[in-house]
Chain A
Amino acid sequence: MSRAGVLAGIGAVAALAWLPVVVRRDDHLNFFVLVLLTVTLAQSWNIIAGYAGQVNLGHAAFFGLGALVTRSLWIGGAPVVAGMLAGAAVAVAFALAVGAAAFRLRGAYFAIGTLALGEILRITVGNVLPEISTLPTDVIAGYRLATRYWIALALAGLSVLAVAGLSASRLGLGMQAVREDEEAAEATGVGALRLKLVALVISTGLAGLAGGLFAFYHISYYPAHPFAPHWTFDAVLVTFIGGVGTLHGPILGAVFYVFLKEYLAVRWVDFHLLIFGALFVAIVLLLPGGLVEAGGRLRAAWRST
């Protein structure tokens, strides 16, 4: 990452940290929390799918595990940060437990295998914990949105840093080599399974943290809800539309996605999915680099005129 990029990043985070002081309306601040949560989730998926090339369609399982553990520990009296770290640890532990088996699968088989894993977890959690989880009244009385916002900002910053670090490092280059051609990478001495597991650990750790934020942020929800496949699908749509395997793509995608989702939800339920589903198909077919590639092409066209 260039020095200018680092400075711009620090400036953006500092400016965003001021936001709760300036923005007085909760609905506006909520919008930013959702954007930051989506950035974190999308970047976490971007690491395993965009960099290591493993299309994980069970990503919601790790988000859900983070939410489940954080919620129980936090309501049980533990500090929320400790709960979130424990949630991330459980998500990573589960990832390592199934990772070795799942990585025997290649390409599309990995995708449908992980989709099945995610559904197994969602159904099981829904069966074991069918009751809605609502915060106790004293916690609701002391609820401060700004705290949630700052945690969301920290997580989004962390996820962007992780991707920035990866794209510049030997580790990230190795992952991209595995993504492009696993056999060729192995032949040149890259340990594909080890790299895929490292990517999975970073990816699911961040997803677990994002789930922890969800548990800290939402007042009441069904425990199975964060395991729902639409969390995975959100991450996939945002990452692809922004630009899969890029640093800026998931950020752009998240802003665009949450904006349209919140704006359209006022009038039409789920209408954003019609637009994004179609946009996603168009991007896979015509513009595999997403918005980032579109921006690059526009700039190139601008320069050549």
Chain B
Amino acid sequence: MTAAVLLQQVVLGLLIGGLYGLAAAGLSLVFGVLKVLNVAHGELIMLGGYGAFWLFALAGVDPFVALLAVVPASLLMGALLYHGLFAWVVRAHEETRIKNSLLIGFGLGLALHALAVQLFTADERAVTTAYAGAVLDLGGVSVPVVRLASLALALAITVGLHGLLARWRWGRAIRATAEDWEAAALAGIDVRRAYLLAFSIGTALAGAAGTLVSVGYSISPSIGLEWTLKALIVVVLAGLGSMLGTFVGGLVLGLAEAVSATAFGGPYREVVGLLIFFLVLVARPQGLFTR
């Protein structure tokens, strides 16, 4: 194997790593603020991908433009899911909350998966735009243009989110709630509204991630579990509290996968990430809240 092959793998790994980061950002926000582990996050990504796919297939909307429709729609869906399901869970004590949210996410994920199979069939799909095949040649390393654009957008969204959480009045309220919800409530913050906003924004991030997945890669009703696991791995690697850190964690996972795929063969790329995930979890059994 030559250095060029490895370099090519590394570039592709970093490109998908950006999407891992974006996928994890939503999960991390929801987990950090609501202390709710939504294992249906991957299914929300899947639905976002279908949103972009159908906008393109039926109306010819460019997938990057489709973000402008998919993201608000996901935001709305997040608000509905929060009111319908997760608002019930956040009433419980923290440990019960995580466990119940895991179970509810699990049931929700199964139901959304089955619904997607009914509505969209189990076929694998991807958005193939006119420019889908365009490739940049950087000194022997080829960089698919759509994936590069996706990475740039993922980074832009993450930076935007970081700014939102740092500057916006409600962004700061969300961070205060994540830090200590009782103190936040005493300081006059409407904790329930912070929960609602964080969950909706988390779902919107999933929608954005799904749109980008449907452009550079492919979607099917069954991708949910895989993306939930990727997001979980990144959250465990990067910890909570920093969206930029989560994005870097995504790049690290993409890189680790690329290197292990080159070393052990393509089929094992997933195994390495999962193994790291399990070992990090066991090494830090007190949980992910510690920073």
Contacts and interface: CB of A to CB of B under 8 A. Distances in A.
Given A105-B285, A127-B267, A117 B278 contact: yes
Contact of A270 (B89, B99, B114): B114
A105 B281 contact: yes
Contacts of B251: none
A1 B104 CA distance: 32
Contacts of B113: 270, 273, 277
Interface in B223-275: 225, 229, 232-233, 265, 267-268, 270-271, 274-275
A55 B118 contact: no
A268 interface: yes
Contacts of A127: 265, 267-268
B268 A236 contact: no
Interface string B86-120: 00110000010011111110111111111101100
Contacts of B229: 115-116, 119
B95 A107 contact: yes
B108 A281 contact: yes
A123 interface: yes
Contact of B88 (A116, A233, A277, A285): A285
Given A108-B37, A109-B285, A281-B85, A55 B271 contact: no
Interface size, B (range): 35 or more
Contacts, number: 118
Interface size, A (range): 35 or more
Contacts of B270: 119, 123
A229 interface: yes
A124 to B, nearest CB: 6
Contacts of A281: 85, 104, 107-108, 111
A280 B229 CA distance: 21
A269 B285 contact: no
A112 B281 contact: yes
A278 interface: yes
B267 A123 contact: yes
A194 interface: no
Nearest to A282: B107
A135 interface: no
B111 A277 contact: yes
A108 B103 CA distance: 9
A47 B277 CA distance: 26
A284 B117 contact: no
B282 interface: yes
B111 A278 contact: yes
Contacts of A268: 118
B108 A269 contact: no
Nearest to B285: A104
B287 interface: yes
A111 B111 contact: no
A39 B281 CA distance: 32
Given A274-B118, A277-B114, 7 more contacts: A109-B281, A113-B281, A237-B110, A274-B114, A277-B113, A284-B107, A285-B104
